[in-house]
């Protein structure tokens, strides 16, 4: 039977756990050992079991089945090729099927390590803005809950690493791949199958990490064999995203993204020191400090270019362009061999659909297997929900061992063709969130 916690129980859990949870910036669990380079990629450095209280961040009376939660600090590789540590959280549901494992990449979209999912999934972090206004539910929890309710073990990676390198493709991809190795080697001690079928899922910032992982896997982690990778709200070209969101409601993400990249590339930090207008530099960095929704609201309608001495021209060419290309452009580091399911709203206002059309075409030309759904209805926000049903159905087929056909197919869909069967798959949590958010559109 699945457990369901009443609102009262949730509130008391919330108040009893909040005080005891230390944020990553102050928690010794996250300390990187001095001999980090003695560890192999994906090797576990330390582990702990934490209380199975994912629900402590929900104020909705929903069911989330969680039996145990383990966390691992593991070794991975940063964008310059150096050994670094990162954390991953492994969640075991009740009535689990230990042969099925999903890597869910959260869209935490932040240049602040205290917004990492290993922490925000455990604590209510309202002040840092990890909640949907009016709902007070972590934006990722419904998707994780849907997978857990299907009996899948779920791991979610702090793929931005200990320096919160938001939008940094190489770091993010490596961390997802190494966390998979860590979970595959350590999970069986806790009941995960020794040879589970495993797949990846991510939307928006989570799709960035998942797609980079898929692209880097053949070269960086040929030992891994993902049954599938489902990515939605894809952001294949960071330069293009920056231009698209500037001065709009999501402009704050541009600030966090640039600061994230500067953590990975010292020449970009130097460049910012030289090129930001000194009197505006503090404001630039303070916009970048929040978690997802806070960064967005702080930076709402801001003009990124007005912070640089030479305005928009500052960002073309030289250091920023070299980094945004190398570390923010998909398609330059390999071709995914794992099958992909890609879902994207044609009206996406954060990353133009043309960029996704381009990368799908490039990957397909290089032999990838991709099922691509272009949703003719909605935008970046609505697609996260409406596309989730098809993504989950596709992932369920992969975890059930069904093969994909070879080659690529592209389909224009309406509201990602939410059907009765796929809605049933969602479970109560995700369905209730979809219903309240998209009710009028359905």
Ligand X SMILES: *[C@@H]1O[C@H](CO)[C@@H](O)[C@H](O)[C@H]1NC(C)=O
Identity of the residue, 135 or 438, whose beta carbon is nearer to ligand X in the bound complex: 135
Identity of the residue, 126 or 397, whose beta carbon is nearer to ligand X in the bound complex: 126
**Beta strand residue intervals within 247-337, DSSP E:** none
Identity of the residue, 14 or 94, whose beta carbon is nearer to ligand X in the bound complex: 14
Q: Which stretch binds ligand X (CB under 6 A): 164-172, 285-293, 320-328, 366-374?
A: 320-328
CA distances from 130 to 127, 139, 222, 381, 431 (A): 8, 7, 35, 15, 20
Distance CA 300, CA 284 (A): 12
Identity of the residue, 22 or 269, whose beta carbon is nearer to ligand X in the bound complex: 269
Residue from 65, 110, 211, 240 binding ligand X (CB under 6 A):
240
* 136: exposed, middle or buried (Cβ count in 10 Å: 0-12, 13-18, 19+): middle
Residue 291 · residue 108 · CB < 8 Å: yes
- Helix 205-220 × helix 169-186 angle, to 10°: 70
- Helix 238-245 × helix 252-264 angle, to 10°: 150
Distance CA 336, CA 362 (A): 11
Q: Is 365 in the site for ligand X (CB under 6 A)?
A: no
Q: Which stretch binds ligand X (CB under 6 A): 130-138, 159-167, 216-224, 402-410?
A: 130-138
Q: Is position 223 annotated as part of the catalytic site?
A: no
Q: Is 281 in the site for ligand X (CB under 6 A)?
A: no
Identity of the residue, 318 or 365, whose beta carbon is nearer to ligand X in the bound complex: 318
Residue from 17, 22, 47, 322 binding ligand X (CB under 6 A):
322
* Residue located via tokens 């960086």: 220
Q: Helix (H, G, I), strand (E, B), or coil: what is residue 20?
A: coil
* Residue located via tokens 């919160």: 164
**Beta strand residue intervals within 250-358, DSSP E:** 340-345
Q: Which stretch binds ligand X (CB under 6 A): 128-136, 206-214, 273-281, 414-422?
A: 128-136
Distance CA 440, CA 442 (A): 6
Residue from 72, 125, 220, 265 binding ligand X (CB under 6 A):
265
Q: Is 405 in the site for ligand X (CB under 6 A)?
A: no
Distance CA 174, CA 258 (A): 19
Q: Is 305 in the site for ligand X (CB under 6 A)?
A: no
**CB atoms inside a 10 Å sphere around CB 326:** 15
Q: Is position 204 annotated as part of the catalytic site?
A: yes
Identity of the residue, 97 or 357, whose beta carbon is nearer to ligand X in the bound complex: 357
Distance CA 233, CA 238 (A): 13
Residue from 38, 303, 402, 403 binding ligand X (CB under 6 A):
38
Q: Is 185 in the site for ligand X (CB under 6 A)?
A: no
Nearest approach, Cβ of residue 230 and ligand X (Å)? 23
* Count, residues near ligand X per rule CB under 6 A: 21
Hey, what's the torsion of the CAs at 302, 317, 351, 136, to 10 degrees? -40
Residue from 185, 239, 335, 379 binding ligand X (CB under 6 A):
239
Beta-strand relationship, 370-375 and 408-413: parallel
Q: Is 29 in the site for ligand X (CB under 6 A)?
A: no
* Residue located via tokens 């209380």: 51
Q: Which stretch binds ligand X (CB under 6 A): 99-107, 238-246, 377-385, 410-418?
A: 238-246
Beta-strand relationship, 340-345 and 44-50: unpaired
Q: Which stretch binds ligand X (CB under 6 A): 115-123, 163-171, 303-311, 317-325?
A: 317-325
Q: Is 47 in the site for ligand X (CB under 6 A)?
A: no
Q: Which stretch binds ligand X (CB under 6 A): 131-139, 202-210, 369-377, 433-441?
A: 131-139
Q: Is 153 in the site for ligand X (CB under 6 A)?
A: no
Nearest approach, Cβ of residue 318 and ligand X (Å)? 5
Q: Is 31 in the site for ligand X (CB under 6 A)?
A: no
Nearest approach, Cβ of residue 292 and ligand X (Å)? 16
DSSP secondary structure code for residue 338 in this structure? S
Long-range CB contact pairs, 31-34, < 8 A, 24+? 32/84, 32/85, 32/162, 33/85
Smallest CA-to-CA distance from 230 within 252, 253, 250, 213 is with 213
Q: Is position 310 annotated as part of the catalytic site?
A: no
Residue from 59, 185, 337, 417 binding ligand X (CB under 6 A):
59
Q: Is 267 in the site for ligand X (CB under 6 A)?
A: yes
Q: Is 436 in the site for ligand X (CB under 6 A)?
A: no
Identity of the residue, 17 or 322, whose beta carbon is nearer to ligand X in the bound complex: 322
Q: Helix (H, G, I), strand (E, B), or coil: what is residue 320?
A: helix
Please identify which of the residues 79, 96, 204, 382 carries the catalytic annotation.
204
Residues serving a catalytic function are: 204, 348, 380
**Residues in touch with ligand X (CB under 6 A):** 33, 35, 38-39, 59, 134-136, 237, 239-240, 243, 265, 267, 318-319, 322-323, 326, 329, 358
């Amino acid at each position: 039977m699945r457990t369901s916690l009443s609102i009262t129980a949730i509130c008391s859990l919330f108040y009893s756990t909040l005080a005891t949870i230390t944020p990553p910036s102050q928690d010794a669990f996250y300390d990187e050992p001095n001999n980090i380079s003695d560890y192999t990629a994906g090797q576990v450095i330390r582990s702990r079991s934490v209380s199975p209280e994912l629900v402590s961040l929900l104020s909705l009376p929903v069911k989330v089945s969680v039996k145990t939660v383990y966390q691992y600090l593991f070794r991975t590789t940063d964008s310059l090729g150096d050994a670094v540590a990162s954390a991953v959280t492994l969640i075991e549901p009740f009535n689990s099927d230990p042969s099925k494992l999903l890597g869910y990449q959260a869209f935490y979209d932040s240049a602040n390590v205290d917004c990492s999912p290993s922490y925000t999934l455990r604590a209510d972090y309202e002040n840092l803005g990890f909640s949907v206004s009016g709902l007070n539910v972590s934006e990722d929890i419904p998707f994780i809950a849907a997978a857990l309710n299907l009996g899948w073990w779920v791991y979610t990676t702090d793929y931005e690493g200990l320096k919160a390198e938001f939008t940094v493709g190489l770091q993010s991809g490596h961390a997802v791949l190494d966390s998979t190795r860590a979970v595959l080697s350590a999970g069986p001690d806790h009941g995960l199958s020794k040879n589970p079928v495993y797949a990846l899922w991510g939307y928006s910032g989570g799709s960035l990490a998942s797609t980079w992982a898929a692209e880097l896997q053949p070269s960086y982690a040929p030992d891994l064999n993902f049954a599938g990778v489902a990515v939605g709200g894809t952001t294949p070209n960071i330069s293009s995203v920056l231009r698209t969101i500037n001065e709009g409601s999501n402009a704050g993400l541009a600030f966090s993204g640039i600061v994230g990249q500067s953590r990975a590339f010292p020449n970009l930090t130097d460049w910012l020191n030289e090129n930001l207008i000194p009197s505006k530099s503090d404001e630039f960095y303070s916009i970048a400090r929040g978690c997802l929704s806070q960064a967005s609201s702080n930076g709402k309608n801001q003009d990124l270019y007005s912070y640089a001495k030479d305005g928009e021209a500052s960002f073309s060419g030289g250091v920023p362009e070299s980094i945004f290309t190398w570390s923010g452009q998909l398609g330059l580091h390999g071709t995914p061999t794992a099958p992909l399911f890609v879902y994207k709203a044609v009206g996406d206002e954060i990353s133009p659909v043309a960029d996704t059309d381009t990368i799908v075409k490039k990957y397909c030309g290089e032999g990838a297997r991709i099922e691509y759904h272009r949703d003719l209805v909605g935008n970046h926000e609505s697609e996260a929900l409406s596309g989730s049903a098809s993504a989950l159905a596709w992932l369920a087929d992969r975890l059930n061992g069904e093969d994909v056909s070879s080659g690529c197919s592209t389909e224009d869909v309406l509201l990602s063709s939410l059907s009765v069967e796929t809605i049933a798959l969602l479970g109560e949590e995700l369905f209730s969130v979809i219903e309240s958010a998209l009710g009028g559109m359905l």
